[in-house]
Amino acid sequence: MKKINYFTILPSAFIMLMGCSDDNNPKTPVATGPPVETNSPNTSYTPAFTGQTRANGAQTTTAYKSDILTTALSAPWGITSLPDGRLLVTEKGGSLRIVTLAGVISSPIQGLFPVNSEGQGGLLGICLDPDFTTNRMIYWVFSEAVAGGNVTAVAKGMLSSNESEIQSPTVIYRANPANSSTLHYGGRIVFDKTGNLLVSTGERSVLETRPLAQSVASGLGKIIRITKQGQPAAGNPTFSQSGALPELYSMGHRNPQGLALHPVTGDVWQSEHGPRGGDEINRVQAGNNYGWPTITYGIEYSGDPIGAAIQKQDGMEQPIYYWDPVVSPSGMTFYKGNRIPEWQNNLFIGSLSATHIIRLIIDNNRVVGEERLLASEGQRFRDITQGTDGALYAITDQGRLYRIDKE
């Protein structure tokens, strides 16, 4: 099944001023439209700086289209490109598949570890070894049932030459402690510019484990940085509190479902689910504390305040951007191509509850514009990546795979 949507927006319908910027992105457009969010926020909290939420609205002036390559995936969760342009896709229930650009889906690749797919668990993020063309190694995150409950686990294995199985699969890391919760696993995985793995872990949601996001002795609510063998990576930050785990890179996260490296600076950016309000985009720096649950721009689902209901505290980082109401940001990628020049170095994020793809224009580490793409599709966009052909590829909880490119 294929569906094509054409978006042709005349420049006269929207004004984009070309402003001064840093050397990394000298032609960053400055959005001048009204914010795309028009609903009332859940809170009356005051942003820490102008543009931290409800940035000016933007519209793409280049004509582009979206093609649905398939609707037959089963709750896809992670997507990445193989060197030949085909796509490697994880499905929440535990299957790993290859999808061609014609939308042909392979049989499940055998050899993966069992997953606990209850709740928000399952087969989650995936990435290829930087040397995949020679070693064929794949790394993935999954929710694993262990003694004491469930954990966010990281595994690796070699894709067989006939692409039918993962050979010599090995679990290389587990985020402890285990808990019976089936929520907030985090689950994204990427290689950083030094060749080490960055993995996001959630704080597992329940009140029992929520405080562990602030504990350096726990792997919950963290970005961890490990070697390909699962050992703490050289150069990791040193946390001052006693008992700090050597694999920790940052702390104070709730449910981080997106990780991406800026194509120019190599900086680590992250998306994070807030509670009722307070979804975040963070620029993650080594050793920093991103505040959850001590500071937040959200409230409990019940409407009650969280903790002391504060949004700022010394020693805790502010999000670069937040949403209230939530959009439920998930997988994300920076646009590295020039097929649509105005998108260069923009951040594209799958939105679950708000059912669109978010485009953020970033200048000097601040969000200066926001656009909603494919909102009319009504899909929960779970992950997005840029293919070897320069197009964007996005998967949805409902089983769709989209290709988004210049018309």
CB 317 within 8 A of CB 290: yes
Active-site residue among 184, 262, 273, 356?
184
Q: For 227-289, list the strands marked E by DSSP.
A: 248-251, 255-261, 268-273, 279-284
Q: Taking the alpha carbons of 190, 196, 197, 203 in that order, is the dihedral positive or negative?
A: negative
Residue 184 annotated among the catalytic residues of the structure = yes
The Cα–Cα gap between 13 and 57 comes to 13
Query: 3-state DSSP: the chain helix, strand, coil percent, rounded to 5?
Result: 5, 40, 55
The Cα–Cα gap between 246 and 252 comes to 16
Strand 149-159 to strand 392-396: parallel, antiparallel, or no bridges (unpaired)? unpaired
Element (H, E) at 127: strand 123-128
Q: How many CA atoms lie within 13 A of 45 on its CB side?
A: 27
The Cα–Cα gap between 133 and 251 comes to 34
Strand partners, 156: 139, 170
Residues serving a catalytic function are 184
